[in-house]
Structure 1
Amino acid sequence: MPGLLALDWGTSSLRGALLDKDGLVTEERSFARGILTVAPGEFATVFEACFGDWTRAGASFCLIAGMAGSQQGWMQAPYCPCPAGFDEVAAQLSWVEAGRIAIVPGLSCINAGVPDVMRGEETQVLGAMQLLGKQDGLFVLPGTHSKWVRVRAGKIESFSTFMTGEFYALLRKHSILARSLPEADGEIVRPAFDEGVARALQGSSLLQTAFSVRTLSLFERMAAASLPSYLSGLVIGEEIGTQTLEPGASVVVIGSDALTERYGFALAQRGVTVERAGSQATWRGLWALAQTIPHKET
């Protein structure tokens, strides 16, 4: 399937890549046109403005992952229940335009009787499986809503969501801690981050440990510039502390260099090693899904 236009259309950004018949990226673009910036009924217009020249130049098929398939997106794509692999996901594409533009469904699962969902991360996991040649394993996708994904026999079996990034932002900007923290995060201060992770892994609740950001500042036990790294360590350590991880285990962490680095540091305190996958996982996942489609819907 030559000339695949692969899109990652999220809440705050729109990324696109043009892939050749072998799945190699020939060109990439990024726009600040996440779904929240697009008025209802205007998705086709934004799509044409951003990528119309690619489609006219031969990208005859477009596959879209992410929040474009949500209730606020271009078209609601129903969730595909777990366990799900390439075949199950490809079979439940939602077609914006028959044979030309399709949206990848999100995934759903049940954890302790409560539903959980993802949109976009499933494509990253499927892509990372291809890039790393894995059919089994634990995959971690850090971010605003971090995902821990269990893959078995080539299928996403289950996953759980942690509001780690969102809690960091709430504490960082909208709690009493904001008064102690500098305006900008700055670069990671490794000793402070490691201390935050270690404190979180000692077993105390984040409801208690978070207040130490204020007291360490109040008694001048930690420099202001180090406090954001310490708080980051607390919330990431809280997340990692909930996982059953055996020393010597390995997990795959998918995301930006900055976040995957932090998770690597934190997981090392649990004796766990990491393999990393970056933004190319999304493109690889979309390309592999495109190859799975037995025929274009008409």
Structure 2
Amino acid sequence: MTPDWIACDWGTSNLRLWAMKDGAPVGERRSDRGMGRLDGPQAFEDALIEAAGDWAAPPVTVVACGMVGARQGWIEAPYIPVPAKPSASGLVRAPTRTPGLSVHIVPGMSQADPADVMRGEETQIAGHLALHRNWDGVLCLPGTHTKWAHVSVDEVVSFQTYMTGEMFAVLGQHSVLRHSLTDGWDDAAFEAGLEQGFDRPERLANRLFSLRAESLLSDPAPGAARARLSGLLIGAEIASAKPYWLGQRVAVLGDGVQADLYLRALAVQSVPVERSDATRATLAGLAAAHAALTA
């Protein structure tokens, strides 16, 4: 199969490719050779060709988003300062050795005050807006670094980032809490953590140690501490982001369990919330970037 072009989402841990033909994906391939597993910019081209296989037969155009455009990526794609339309212009061409291979990277977005940046999420936002015309409101994009973006008139007006996912991983693997987090899940514990995190976010550090103390003094259900830790962190995040989502149209742009948790957490606060498919949005955003490239 010879695709018209290749869509690429290149993160820190993984690489996802889609063969695009007649405006639609006709195949998908994945690799664990994310930015964090590559030894410098010179390694990206080989990783792409290996993952693409026969799709990479020249001539071929690749449109990529994500950490491939970071300072530690293939080539740095400068940030577009907000307010601005995401992925509207400014694609950066990566240097290539392979004849007939053309790689174009979508720029990220930046905010000066308070300082913030995003890479990859701007493409999902662009895709969401392409799929939902005239959509205004606040998008929540769960992830290692969760984004909350205020969108109006097809522009990202402002955004803010929470390291909730990374904090959960660091606390669970490298803090004293690692001795208390067992496998499994407890819905009641998650909802209790949500309530505590939302109602008293200033006591988060104290509540975190209580997880350890409770595991020493009682016999919590399997997975209860893990679920409550997740609830505490997400609850505190949603409390902090309340000025963003209060009174706004809200959508969670994400897939899988993590998106489910944010949907539940917002529902607990009686926030009317929509769900937007992250993969579909990524493809729509990359398609929009490709259309701008070829216009």
TM-score, with length taken from structure 1: 0.88
| Within-5 A mapping of 1:101-140 | 101-111=103-113, 114-140=114-140
Which position in structure 1 is the counterpart of 2:71? Answer: 71
Greater Cα shift, 169-178 or 229-238: 169-178
- Displacement, 1:238? 0.7
Paired AA for residue 27 in structure 1: G
| Within-5 A mapping of 1:130-169 | 130-169=130-169
Paired AA for residue 278 in structure 1: A
Contact 2:186 2:222 in 1 (8 A): no
The runs of 5 or more residues in structure 2 that have no matched partner are: none
Paired AA for residue 120 in structure 2: G
3-state SS of 2:115 partner? strand
Which position in structure 1 is the counterpart of 2:216? Answer: 218
User: Residue 278 and residue 91 in structure 1: after superposition, are their counterparts in 2 closer, same or farther (change >3 A)?
Assistant: closer
2:188 equivalent to 1:191: yes
Greater Cα shift, 38-47 or 5-14: 38-47
- d(CA) in 2 for partners of 1:201 and 1:268? 13
- Displacement, 1:230? 0.7
- Displacement, 1:174? 1.6
Between Structure 1 and Structure 2, how many residues are aligned? 285
Greater Cα shift, 199-208 or 4-13: 199-208
- Displacement, 1:287? 0.4
Contact 1:16 1:29 in 2 (8 A): yes
Which position in structure 2 is the counterpart of 1:261? Answer: 260
Aligned residues: percent identity?
38
User: Residue 42 and residue 189 in structure 1: after superposition, are their counterparts in 2 closer, same or farther (change >3 A)?
Assistant: same
The runs of 5 or more residues in structure 1 that have no matched partner are: none
Which position in structure 2 is the counterpart of 1:233? Answer: 231
Paired AA for residue 109 in structure 2: L
- Displacement, 1:293? 3.0
Which position in structure 1 is the counterpart of 2:15? Answer: 14
- Displacement, 1:123? 0.5
3-state SS of 1:126 partner? helix
User: Residue 158 and residue 246 in structure 1: after superposition, are their counterparts in 2 closer, same or farther (change >3 A)?
Assistant: closer
Contact 1:6 1:19 in 2 (8 A): yes
- Displacement, 1:271? 1.1
Contact 2:150 2:158 in 1 (8 A): yes
Paired AA for residue 74 in structure 1: W
Q: Deviations over 1:193-246 (max 9, x none)?
A: 111000111124211221221233233263242110110000000100112266
Q: Deviations over 1:62-95 (max 9, x none)?
A: 1000000111111111111111215xx3421111
User: Residue 247 and residue 46 in structure 1: after superposition, are their counterparts in 2 closer, same or farther (change >3 A)?
Assistant: closer
- Displacement, 1:181? 1.6
Which position in structure 2 is the counterpart of 1:25? Answer: 25
Choose which of 198, 203, 208 in structure 2 pairs with 1:201.
Answer: 198
Provide the alpha-carbon RMSD of the alignment: 2.1
Contact 1:65 1:104 in 2 (8 A): yes
Greater Cα shift, 166-175 or 4-13: 166-175
